[in-house]
Amino acid sequence: MKEAIKNGKAEIITTPEYGMKLGPAYVSDNMPYHLDNWVDCMRNRSVVPNGHIHTGFWHSIATIMATRAYREGKKLYWDRKTEEIVDRMPSS
Q: Which tens digit of pLDDT belongs to each residue from 39-52? A: 888 898 888 888 77
Q: Name which residue leads in pLDDT, 85 or 56.
A: 85
List Cα–Cα distances, 82 to 35, 78, 89, 92, in angstroms.
31, 9, 13, 12
| DSSP structure class, residue 44 | -
Residue 20 pLDDT exceeds 80: no
pLDDT > 70 fraction of the chain, expressed in percent and rounded: 65
- Please tell me the pTM assigned to this model: 0.52
CA distance 63 to 71: 12
Predicted pLDDT at 76:
94
Residue 10 has pLDDT above 70, yes or no: no
Of the two residues 34 and 59, the one the predictor is more confident about is: 59
- Give the mean pLDDT of the chain: 76
